[in-house]
Amino acid sequence: MTVLTDARIVLPDGVRHGDLHISDGTIVEATAASGGEVIDLGGRHVVPGFVDMHVHGGAGASYQLGRPDGVRRAAAYHLAHGTTTTLASLVTGPPDEFADAVASLADLASEGVIAGVHLEGPYLAPGRCGAHNPSLLRVPDLAEFRRLVRLGRGHLRMITLAPELPGGLDLVREAADTGVIAAVGHTDAPGATARAAFDAGARVATHLFNAMRPLHHREGGPVAAAVNDPRVTVELINDGVHVEPAVVRLAFAAAGPSRVALITDAMAAAGMGDGDYSLGGMDVEVRDGRALLAGGTSIAGSTITMADAFRRAVRDVGVPVHQAAEAASLTPARALGISSRVGSLEPGKDADLIVLDDDLRVAWVMKRGIRV
């Protein structure tokens, strides 16, 4: 038994001052049993471990090729900054390279290094491709998708696609039927097509506002379709670069913390500082923490951690701490269908948690009851 005493426990409905009991890696109800370790937190906040459903790498390593050493290094970096559950996101790549990466990442998901695989592409709109290699984009291919599902062995969790492409809605339906989350993103879809995709089973909007037809008062596009649909979780990259604080605040007001999922979209440069990097074979320049395609203006992911996104939500956007924690933990966990195990500090769930200092920065992290 481990007991965290004098804790400000952040729950979905607010903050409760008290003790948190942990046994065998699980949060448990208070017990009269004695013994074990007692840790006095001195009134510091405890939030659930962050769940990042969209991240490409960190610590100089990328998930793109599924190389075990690099995957472990990136996952460990984000874990140390509070992300106790992470998907490995892949940008568009050649078919065989893509397939090999999915198979390798499935092995690592089986080990628990990552929680699954997210394919961002290759079925994206050329005009909204962002940092994806336009020469590798292709129209939705059910045969290729089914092969990737087989290679994923149950660990392919999400695919981002543009539903307006030929066969796009068919692929959304196929994904929904096979238990893979379809996400609308990198899309030029009008609102009617985006709504059709959500009716067909899509349940996530990939990095809302970014790489999609913008909101217009006479054509709401995918932004209005996603925000107005209570079935849809909307991702937000809260790094101060992709979306300004006023717009983040608007998204929280419109969709609420139960449907806003903070993500990092972090690439290999996270934790490494400025320099020259690669993302899916595309050259990326990081200057002042901002990642852009070399020689261009397209943003190429971020360099933040979920801890940065969470703290920024509270400090810069003005989101209450319990709602920011929900957006960083429980909402993405719900979207991924794993909220029975992670995402909040409730009895019966994994003891994945973060102790914050007085400035809401990560002091230390616990995963399944073990400090990391």
Rounded to whole angstroms, how far apart are CA atoms 203 and 176? 9
| 300 annotated to a ligand binding site | yes
Rounded to whole angstroms, how far apart are CA atoms 235 and 77? 22
DSSP 240: S
Rounded to whole angstroms, how far apart are CA atoms 335 and 181? 8
- Gyration radius of the chain's alpha carbons: 20
Angle at 72 (CA atoms; ends 70, 78), nearest 5 degrees = 105
Question: How much is the pLDDT for 30?
Answer: 81
Inter-residue contact 151 to 102 (CB < 8 Å): yes
The domains of the chain, with CATH numbers, are: 2-46+355-371 (2.30.40.10), 50-342 (3.20.20.140)
Question: How much is the pLDDT for 31?
Answer: 72
| 237 annotated to a ligand binding site | no
| 301 annotated to a ligand binding site | yes
Residue 261: beta bridge partners?
235
| 132 annotated to a ligand binding site | no
Number of H-type helices and E-type strands within the chain: 10, 22
Q: Residue 112: is it exposed, middle or buried by C-beta count within 10 angstroms (0-12/13-18/19+)?
A: exposed
Q: Catalytic amino acids?
A: 265
Omega of the bond prior to 122 within 30 degrees of 0, cis?
yes
Hey, is 272 helix, strand or coil?
coil
Rounded to whole angstroms, how far apart are CA atoms 137 and 123? 6
Residue 371: beta bridge partners?
366
Question: How much is the pLDDT for 131?
Answer: 93
| 228 annotated to a ligand binding site | no
Nearest to 160 by CA among 114, 191, 128: 128
Question: How much is the pLDDT for 34?
Answer: 60
Q: Going by C-beta distance under 8 Å and a sequence separation of 6 or more, which residues neighbour residue 108?
A: 66, 68, 71, 72, 88, 114
DSSP code string of 124-182: --GGG-TTS-GGG-----HHHHHHHHHHHTT-EEEEEE-TTSTTHHHHHHHHHHHTPEE
Per-residue pLDDT of the chain (372 residues; tens, 9 = 90+): 899 999 999 999 999 999 999 999 999 998 756 678 999 999 999 999 999 999 999 999 999 999 999 999 999 999 999 999 999 999 999 999 999 999 999 999 999 999 999 999 999 999 999 999 999 999 999 999 999 999 999 999 999 999 999 999 999 999 999 999 999 999 999 999 999 999 999 999 999 999 999 999 999 999 999 999 999 999 999 999 999 999 999 999 999 999 999 999 999 999 999 999 999 889 999 999 999 999 888 999 999 999 999 999 999 999 999 999 999 999 999 999 999 999 999 999 999 999 999 999 999 999 999 999
